[in-house]
């Protein structure tokens, strides 16, 4: 099996998943880490789009979703500060592209209707800290983030 | 899931909750056993894993997690099942379907208006529509513009005419259609399939987003049958169509159950034909489970659902986790499964159809047809009653008629003299801006769900409509 590049991830050629599976990463797992990480899907994919490194992912990841791969980016050579920076500064205009990566073969892709969205909604950004903390989710992370970020903490507490 | 508790979760003062529900085997298409307390039951367990609950039965979700903050788009245990329910009852027409768990229909409507409505926007809707939703849009600065309806719902030719002949002097051309196509509130109409097709094509032509508000989708009825024997035979036949449930949800044939459901009175939705991803569909468990659950779901293309999540993060944060956990448990293969859910709604649908029939029976018995006419509701919980106000001795046909004034008078009289509250059309009317629409206000909305209470209401209604 060929190694998968970040570029593959952006273009949605990695796996064929339903959009709902993309939005709920933990489709085949009851593991809290993976469920929590589903909230990360947008910033993570945007991160990949924003900061390509050319680094190839391990072959084993080719069988799993883009989001699982994204969830494991912390194991790669991207610094946390870069990740956070990307999450916070990412262009809102790219948001709509996030979850339209892997159309099922027999069905058409949905059209881009984001021009109908209000300016306010287009500008609304994800909780970057939450995304960042979840991006780093691993069993050894000691999160003191607290509050609504406790959902992240719980994955490692 | 059985993960270790943490210090915060140990302070949640709840460690084991159980919920009693009708079991899968009891879902025969007849809900009377449950109503009478005679159905066999099953139990949902939600326990907090940790000290004191080591020997308790485990459920689908752990209270450690349920009582914590969570994902803004809902537990995956729930969203996956809702997507499965969507697939079985609507299918898919594009590749990017996703669902967002809301806090019920009102929340779904409100968030969807937040997506698309800028202050000053004009939104299209049926000429009579659900006032709460209209107010939700108005709160965001929308003005609603009416499209004419008839006994089968929104008239496609009228929609096309309004959009084609749109005068920019009125405002920016609408890009959003708010519609209740099935069990329309307040008119009770269900659009035939060809109207769905025609209206979807018109919205494609004019690049209009369809906001499909469909709380009554599960409550679609067959035609009113006034003959009691024929009606009873119809209900018996309808109940017998539902195949017997398997021993467990995982063995139950949900596809076969859905096929029965879809073929009975079912119209397909806008979602089912949404090849563009221009439909935002709003569902709720309120009408078939209980409105106090405050759980619903919005179905749309994934990029739109992603925006709903962002709205949720700064408003409701997390859909009620306890409610989610309960509904997810019902839908899980530990209990009903999606097939069992459809079985339940099948029984509820037949029950409401029987209530609709009862209402129409009494209407025919107590209210002369020359005074009040109606088209039998084909879905939902409401019967739309047309008051033939032109028969009133004080009716004045000159210019803009006095229909509005007479209807207001009747509305108040019914309350004061008979303790009867009917919802006047005025509440649901969407007027053309600047145009007096009181001529079209000669309707009341009545719920069909109140059973015997309607005797008094209808007697009073009939005896005071034209006689004063």
Give the residue on A whose Cα is nearest the Cα of B77: A27
**Among the listed ranges A112-121, B148-157, B413-422, which one has the minimum average pLDDT value?**
B413-422
CA distance B377 to B387: 16
Asked if residue B458 has pLDDT above 80, the reply is no
DSSP summary character for residue B299: E
Q: Can you say how many angstroms the Cα of residue B17 is from the centroid of all Cα atoms in its chain?
A: 29
Q: Which 90-129 residues of chain B touch chain A by CB within 8 A?
A: 92-99, 114-118
Nearest to B6, CA basis, from B63, B77, B72? B63
B41: β partners: B22
Closest residue to B302, CB basis, from A22, A120, A121: A22
Task: List pLDDT tens digits, range A10-28.
Answer: 333 333 344 544 544 432 3
Contact A99 B306 (CB under 8 A): yes
User: Which positions in chain A touch B94 (Cβ < 8 Å)?
Assistant: 103, 107-110
Contact B96 A150 (CB under 8 A): no
Asked if B145 contacts B127 with a C-beta cutoff of 8 angstroms, the reply is no
CA B41 vs CA A33, B247, B335: distances in Å: 34, 13, 10
CA distance B380 to B349: 9
ipTM: 0.85
CA B274 vs CA A100, A111, B182, B199, B405: distances in Å: 15, 10, 16, 11, 43
B385 interfacial to chain A (CB closer than 8 Å): no
Task: List pLDDT tens digits, range B373-413.
Answer: 999 999 999 999 999 999 988 999 988 899 999 999 999 98
Q: Give A112 to chain B, closest Cα distance, Å.
A: 8
Asked if residue B62 has pLDDT above 90, the reply is yes
CA B189 vs CA B108, B221, B225, B330, B376: distances in Å: 22, 10, 17, 30, 8
Q: What is the pLDDT of residue A148?
A: 58
Closest residue to B96, CB basis, from A41, A109, A122: A109
Q: What is the mean pLDDT of residues B103-109?
A: 97
A92 interfacial to chain B (CB closer than 8 Å): no
User: Which positions in chain A touch B8 (Cβ < 8 Å)?
Assistant: 150
Contact A19 B302 (CB under 8 A): yes
B185 interfacial to chain A (CB closer than 8 Å): no
For tokens 């689908």, what's the residue? Answer: B60
B75 interfacial to chain A (CB closer than 8 Å): yes
B392 phi, psi to nearest 5 deg: -70, 140
Q: What is the mean pLDDT of residues A52-70?
A: 31
Count of A-B CB contacts under 8 Å:
158
Closest residue to A38, CB basis, from B3, B71, B313: B71
Q: What is the pLDDT of residue B70?
A: 77
Q: Which 386-445 residues of chain B touch chain A by CB within 8 A?
A: none
List of residues 6+ apart from B169 with CB closer than 8 A: none
Q: Give B117 to chain A, closest Cα distance, Å.
A: 6
pLDDT band at A79 (very low <50, low <70, confident <90, very high): very low
Q: What is the pTM of this model?
A: 0.81
Contact B96 A113 (CB under 8 A): no
Q: Give A56 to chain B, closest Cα distance, Å.
A: 27
Contact A107 B92 (CB under 8 A): yes
């Amino acid at each position: 099996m060929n190694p998968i590049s970040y570029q593959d991830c952006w273009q949605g050629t990695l796996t064929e998943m339903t959009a709902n599976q993309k939005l709920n990463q933990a489709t085949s797992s009851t593991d809290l880490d993976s469920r929590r990480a589903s909230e990360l899907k947008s910033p993570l994919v945007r991160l990949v789009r924003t900061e390509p490194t050319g680094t190839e992912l391990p072959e084993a990841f080719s069988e799993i979703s883009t989001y699982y791969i994204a969830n494991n980016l912390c194991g790669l050579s991207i610094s946390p500060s870069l990740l956070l920076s990307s999450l916070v500064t990412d262009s809102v205009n790219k948001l709509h592209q996030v979850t339209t990566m892997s159309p099922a073969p027999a069905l058409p892709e949905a059209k881009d209707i984001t021009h109908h969205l209000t300016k306010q909604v287009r500008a609304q950004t994800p909780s970057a800290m939450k995304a960042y903390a979840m991006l780093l989710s691993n069993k050894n992370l000691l999160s003191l983030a607290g509050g609504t970020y406790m959902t992240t903490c719980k994955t490692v507490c | 899931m059985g993960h270790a508790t943490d210090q915060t979760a140990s302070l949640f003062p709840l460690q084991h909750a159980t919920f009693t529900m009708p079991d899968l085997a009891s879902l025969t298409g007849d809900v009377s056993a449950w109503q009478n307390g005679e159905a066999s039951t099953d139990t949902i367990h939600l326990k907090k894993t940790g000290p004191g609950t080591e020997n308790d039965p485990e459920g689908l979700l752990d209270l450690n997690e349920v009582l914590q903050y969570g994902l803004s788009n809902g537990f995956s245990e729930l969203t996956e099942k809702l997507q499965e329910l969507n697939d079985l009852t609507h299918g898919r027409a594009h590749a990017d379907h996703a669902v967002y768990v809301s806090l019920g229909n009102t929340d779904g409507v409100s968030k969807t208006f937040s997506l698309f409505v800028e202050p000053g926007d004009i939104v299209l809707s049926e000429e009579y529509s659900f006032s709460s939703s209209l107010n939700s849009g108005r709160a965001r600065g929308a003005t609603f513009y009416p499209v004419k309806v008839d006994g089968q719902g929104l008239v496609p030719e009228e929609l096309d005419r309004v959009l084609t002949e749109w005068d920019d002097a009125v405002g920016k051309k609408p890009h959003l259609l708010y519609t209740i196509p099935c069990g329309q509130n307040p008119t009770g109409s269900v659009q035939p399939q060809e109207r769905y097709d025609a209206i979807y094509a018109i919205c494609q032509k004019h690049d209009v987003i369809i906001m499909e508000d469909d709380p009554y989708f599960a409550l679609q009825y067959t035609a009113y049958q006034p003959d009691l024997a024929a009606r009873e035979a119809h209900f018996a036949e309808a109940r017998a169509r539902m195949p017997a449930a398997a021993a467990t949800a995982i063995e139950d044939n949900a596809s076969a159950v859905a096929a029965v459901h879809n073929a009975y009175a079912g119209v397909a939705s806008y979602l089912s034909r949404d090849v563009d991803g221009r439909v935002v569909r709003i569902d709720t468990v309120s009408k078939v489970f209980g409105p106090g659950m405050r759980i619903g779901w919005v179905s749309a293309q994934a990029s739109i659902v992603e925006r709903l999540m962002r709205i949720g993060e700064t408003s409701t944060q997390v859909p009620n986790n306890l409610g989610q956990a309960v509904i997810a448990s019902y839908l899980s293969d530990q209990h009903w499964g999606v097939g069992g859910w459809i079985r339940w709604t099948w029984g509820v649908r037949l029950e409401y159809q029987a209530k609709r029939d009862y209402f129409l029976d009494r209407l025919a018995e107590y209210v002369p047809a020359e005074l009040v006419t109606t088209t039998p509701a084909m879905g939902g919980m409401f019967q739309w009653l047309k008051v033939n106000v032109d028969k009133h001795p004080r009716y004045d046909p000159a210019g803009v008629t006095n229909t509005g004034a007479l209807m207001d008078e009747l509305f108040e009289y019914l309350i004061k003299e008979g303790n009867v509250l009917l919802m006047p059309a005025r509440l649901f009317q969407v007027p053309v801006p600047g145009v007096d629409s009181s001529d079209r206000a000669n309707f009341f909305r009545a719920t069909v769900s109140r059973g015997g209470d309607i005797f008094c209401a209808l007697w009073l209604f009939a005896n005071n409509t034209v006689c004063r």
